[in-house]
Amino acid sequence: MPNDQAESGAGAFATTHWSVVVAAGDATSERSRAALAELCQAYWYPLYVFLRRKGVSPDEAQDLTQSFLADLLARKQISRADRTLGRFRSFLAASLENFLHNEWRRRSAQKRGGGQVPVSLDTVNAEARFASEPADAENPSLAYDRQWARALLDQAIRALQQEWERDGRGALFQEFQAHLWGDATSVPYAELCARFDLTPVNLRVTFHRFRQRYRELLRQAVADTVANEAEIEDELRFLMQVVSR
C-alpha cells in the first residue's frame, strides 16, 4: 500500500487500489494493472468458495478461478465496470457470473485468459480451507460475501502482526489477538503485566491502541476495494453483518 495512503482526508483516498483501477478505465496503465493483480491475489479464495458452493469440483473450481482472473486482466474488463456499484466485491462477483455463462458455453480451455499466462495463485491448500468451512447449505452468494469479509479481517490482522513484530512486540501481539473480539475485561491484565513488565495503566492503554490500530487497518483494507470514500462505512457495516451471521 502506498505510504501516502496512511494520511487522512479525501486527497489520500485516490491512492487506494480499486480507485486506481477504476480511474484507469481499461486498466492499460502499468500502475492500474499492478493494483488489479494485487486485488485478485488477495481475494481469489471467495471466488473459489463461490464456485464450490455452486457444485463445481475442486479441480475445476481452481481452474475456473485462475482462468477467470487471467481473463479479467487480459481482456480489460474494467472498462465495463459499473461505476454506480463501485465495490470491487460486487464487480468481481458479477464478472464471474458472466464469465461462467460464457465459459460453460464454449468449454475451450485454449481460449481461457486470452492466451495469457494464468494468474499465479496459491491454490494448493484451497480445498483444505474449504473443507474446514461449515458443511451447510449456504448459498453461493452468501458464502462469497462471508469469505470476502474474512479475507479483509485476515488482511488487517496480518498487517497489524507485521507492525508489532517489527517493533519487537510479537509475543504481546499473540496475547492481545486472543482478546481482539472480546471486551476489555477478558484480558488477564495482572498476568500480562507480570510477564511483560508493564503497569496496569500502560497495558490497558496499549491494548486500546492495539484495537484502534486494527480498526484503522481494517478500514484501509476496505478502502482498497471501493471506488470512493463515501462507500467505506457502508461496506464495513455490510461485511460485519455478513461475517456475524
pLDDT tens column, 2-57 = 444 344 444 444 567 888 887 766 556 788 888 888 888 889 999 999 999 999 99
What are the residue boundaries of the structural domains of the chain, listed by start?
12-243
In the chain, pLDDT over 90 holds for what percent of residues? Answer: 44
Cell numbers describing residue 57: 469440483
Chain segment 175-206, per-residue pLDDT in tens: 999 999 887 688 999 999 999 999 999 999 99
Question: What is the pTM assigned to this prediction?
Answer: 0.80
* Long-range pairs, 236-241, Cβ under 8 A, ≥24: 238/145, 239/145, 239/148, 239/149, 239/152, 240/149
The enclosing H or E element of 203 equals helix 200-223
Instruction: For residues 201-218, give the mean pLDDT.
Output: 96
Q: Which of 79, 17, 88 is nearest to 5 (CA)?
A: 17
* Alpha carbon distance 160, 178 (integer Å): 14
Decide: 42 and 151 in contact? Cβ < 8 Å: yes
* Alpha carbon distance 55, 60 (integer Å): 10
Decide: 64 and 112 in contact? Cβ < 8 Å: no
* Alpha carbon distance 38, 26 (integer Å): 16
Band (228; pLDDT cuts 50, 70, 90): confident
Decide: 192 and 198 in contact? Cβ < 8 Å: yes
pLDDT at 10: 40
